[in-house]
Chains A and B, each alone.
Chain A
Amino acid sequence: MPIIGTIASSIRVATNSYESISTAVVQAGGSQAVTISSIPQGYTHLQVRGSVRSHSGTTGNNNTFSLRFNGDSGGNYWRQRIYATDNAGVGADFTGTTGIDIGNYTFTPTSMYSGVTIDIVDYANTNKMKFAKAISGHVRDSSFGRLFIYGGYWNNTNAITSITFFSVADSFGAGTQFALYGIKG
């Protein structure tokens, strides 16, 4: 592959420590929740790479989506976030909650998918609480934008066997996808 203006070298290295496990894609009609289940236990960490858009396309300017582990919808999660809003607003907050807020997307237009990478470390370790972190955001127009850095944990040492992503005030639009990867360590 040519690389202009440089001394180029190309390498292709096969790796067997980062593997694609499965991908969940929202179909026509949208969905308020997406679940990845039967997660194999043979990795050390998980990573989810998402592309998320709105189903309604009309409600509000910003929407948050969250995750739960193993179907636990109890108040067993905590999350911290740092954020930037619009022009020059910054802040941070912390809350106990029924799921870890982990991403954001806007409502218009339909071609606007927000990308997010979610890291979940030591997901199968039964001696540790489970942590997740991500960076997410969007710019709707010249006066409205959001950027969030999230960190949260599930106060449970069970191995993670399923992950549910859900949208609080809206539904995920068709084409929204969450791709799960396993990392061996």
Chain B
Amino acid sequence: MPATYDSIASTTLGSNQSSVSFSTIPTTFTDLIIVVQAGNTTDSQAQNIRFNSDSGGNYDLMWLRGSGAAVTGNLAANQVQGYFGYFVVPDVSANDFISTIEIYDYNATDRWKSVVVRDNNAVTGNFTGTEALTWWWKNTAAITNILLFPNGGQFPTGSTFTLYGIKAA
């Protein structure tokens, strides 16, 4: 059976950055996965993602979030970006937030792009939130560029972002 789940690109930040981008993505895989371990220099900032530089209202999201003893769920349609996590505490460490972003059929041109996210965030001595999201990018174009950026602040030094490709038989 053919081995798959290949690391396409990986970066560890040597300084604070306002965004990370994966571009010129190979067309040979079926799905993409992005694994993030990061932080944010400013607290309570949404962690955003855009495909092919699309900043229009073309993202529909559902989330289910637990933080402390509270559980919340919600829907947000026609957003100007997708989303891969949310910080709820002040956090400048590069190790207090993890997120796995699964992007299905990224190269197909007959369907919107479906995404499932799992993320957790914590600060030393305290665990502050876990979350699942599902969302669509309402565009049938193949994904050729992925931009990750916080609503405010920056990803701190030491944050890691790795892009994997999975090819179906």
Residues of A within 8 A of B (CB): 1-23, 40, 49, 51, 53, 82-90, 111-117, 135-139, 141-147, 149, 175, 177, 179-182
Contact = CB atoms under 8 A, between A and B. Distances in A.
Contacts of A23: 168-169
A22 B74 CA distance: 36
Nearest to A105: B114
A9 B75 CA distance: 36
A53 B140 CA distance: 15
Given A51-B104, A136-B116, A138-B114, 13 more contacts: A2-B24, A5-B20, A7-B13, A20-B166, A20-B169, A84-B64, A112-B111, A147-B64, A147-B134, A175-B111, A177-B168, A181-B166, A182-B1
A117 B2 contact: no
Contacts of B103: 115
A90 B71 CA distance: 8
B6 A112 contact: no
A182 B23 CA distance: 29
A147 B169 contact: no
Interface string B1-35: 11111111111111101111111110000110000
A143 B140 CA distance: 22
A3 B74 CA distance: 33
* In the A-B complex, the 6 residue pairs with the closest CB atoms: A84-B73, A115-B104, A137-B134, A115-B114, A179-B168, A142-B77
A142 B77 CA distance: 5
B114 A6 contact: no
A2 B24 CA distance: 8
Given A7-B12, A117-B102, A147-B63, A88 B78 contact: no
Contacts of B18: 5
Contact of A20 (B74, B112, B132, B168): B168
A67 B9 CA distance: 34
B3 A21 contact: no
B15 A7 contact: yes
Nearest to A182: B1
A119 to B, nearest CB: 12
A138 to B, nearest CB: 7
Contacts of B114: 51, 113-115, 138
A139 B5 CA distance: 28
A15 B9 contact: no
Contact of B74 (A14, A51, A88, A135): A88
B74 A87 contact: yes
B91 interface: no
A1 B105 contact: no
Nearest to B5: A18
Contacts of A12: 6-8
B72 to A, nearest CB: 7
